[in-house]
Amino acid sequence: MAFNNNIKIHEQFKVVPPSSIQTTTLPLTFFDIFWLKFHPVERIFFYTLPNSQSHPTFFFQKLVPILKSSLSLTLQHFLPLAGKIVWPSESPQPIVQYTPNDGVSLLIAESDADFDRVIEKSPHEASLSRSLIPHLESIDSFASIISIQVTLFPNSGVSIGISAHHAILDGKSSTMFIKAWAYLCKKTIETEEESPTLLPELEPSFNREIIKDPNQLGVTFTNNWIEIISKMFPNEEAKQKKLEDFCS
């Protein structure tokens, strides 16, 4: 099945949490370190919209600002997602670090593909899905945790593509984030509140003290990754701790 799918990129935003929060760090547990080198988890959600709401003028002038503001509110509850994976020289393993003005990449795009055919439960070219998913940045000094692409299919619907680092987001936490964003977006539209309250069941927990590691599995997994990377890149010194090698 062939699709005419010319993607037009309209804007790219960095969406930050609404309040100025001090630098915070979150250690990675052995549950996280195990997935450090795995490919990002990529998901696409499709939403059918009435013609009036999926018209480009309404979408870009009304819906995009609401998506941005509600995403910002959501990041206030999921603060580590706005940060980065870094590996300080004094740290035995990578950590998640959020610093003021950190944020999530939000790409706003438009596709000329036939939306009804895109959402059909039938095989189609993988290149179509690829064009609806954003790139997750990873360089020597840091690795991004999540990036988002919202693509408009004029007069039909939208897709939300998400690329997330598997060491930080598993299936449950990723789904909770999406549900929280959807809930705050809906509340913003319905009530026009600037800062609606998130449901308690959608509030994440970042308490790492409840995870015990008496056998130092986190250190073991980190050393295993260092050994693997050293074999893959024999000319690189492991002590340089290049996150691009570990997280891409």
What pLDDT score was predicted for residue 189?
87
Domains of the chain (ranges plus CATH)? 7-247 (3.30.559.10)
Q: For the chain, 248 residues long, give each residue's pLDDT as a single digit of tens.
A: 344 468 899 999 999 998 767 888 888 888 888 887 788 899 999 999 888 888 999 999 999 999 999 999 999 999 999 999 988 878 878 889 999 889 999 999 999 998 988 898 888 777 788 899 999 988 777 889 999 999 999 999 999 999 999 888 888 899 999 999 999 999 988 887 777 889 999 999 888 778 887 787 777 777 776 777 677 666 655 444 555 555 55
Nearest to 181 by CA among 239, 91, 106, 233: 106
2 in Cβ contact with 125 (< 8 Å): yes
> What was the pLDDT predicted at 243?
56
Q: Return the number of other C-beta atoms located less than 10 Å from residue 7's C-beta.
A: 16
**SS3 annotation, 34-76:** CCCCCCCEEEEEEEECCHHHHCHHHHHHHHHHHHHHHHHHHHH
Name the strand (E) or helix (H) holding 160: strand 157-164
**Helix, strand, coil abundance in the chain, percent, nearest 5:** 35, 20, 40
